[in-house]
Structure 1
């Protein structure tokens, strides 16, 4: 039986704070978008959220929760990889890295074909 006092469920290991979680997701989104100007608009399209919400995620002021996190991970390999690393499942993040590499190689091959 659990004690009736306290506000949080006792976890045996260190957990992320909300601020740390927001920063990890913001870093992943920055990796995904780099310095592009349309990052917030793309996030809005992926998740159906407002412009302000997308900007808060990009700035690390707030983090997406639940469904929005899944929607971001569906579209962004960087977010998916960050989730797997936070879940202490680095072997699972390798798949996201390989997908990103495959996309980068395809883009490079397309650019080379255009040059020739």
Structure 2
């Protein structure tokens, strides 16, 4: 009997994958887009990392890797980021080709801001 192989098994390439499609996004593009969004939303300080750790309950090392684009968030952590960060939400929508939702979100945000400003103007005129 031969000893068991301890090599990694290579994952087969799925039959239905089409590597030539332009709408596919690779891991590097994903991690870079999320890192840029995190930097825009939270800044470049250690406090920014701590803030994201507290928002997502992820390990600090993982969050540092997100900020440096070494790895990207997955699953629950990505949902937590989308819930709390408009920049991350827009990055995910942009990567998924849903620019129409970005426009709709910005219009809704603008409308809310305009209503607040009109209310403030009304209060100042009294």
C-alpha distance in structure 2 between counterparts of 1:76 and 1:30, whole Å: 11
Classify the secondary structure of the residue corresponding to 1:38: helix
Which residue pairs with 2:13 in the alignment? Answer: 7
TM-score by length of 1: 0.73
Number of residue pairs matched?
99
Which aligned pairs between 1:99-114 and structure 2 lie closer than 5 A?
A: 99=109
Q: 1:50 to 1:96 in 2, by over 3 A?
A: farther
Q: Contact 1:77–1:97 (CA<8 Å) still a contact in 2?
A: no
Consecutive aligned runs of 4 or more in structure 1 exceeding 6 Å deviation: 100-103
Residue 80 of structure 1, aligned match among 80, 83, 89: 89
| Structure whose CA Rg is larger | 2
Aligned-pair CA distance for 1:34: 2.4
Q: TM-score, normalised by structure 2?
A: 0.68
Matches within 5 A, 1:12-27: 13-14=21-22, 15-27=24-36
| Superposed displacement of residue 95, structure 1 | 4.4
* Residue ranges of structure 1 left out of the alignment (5+ in a row): 1-5, 107-116
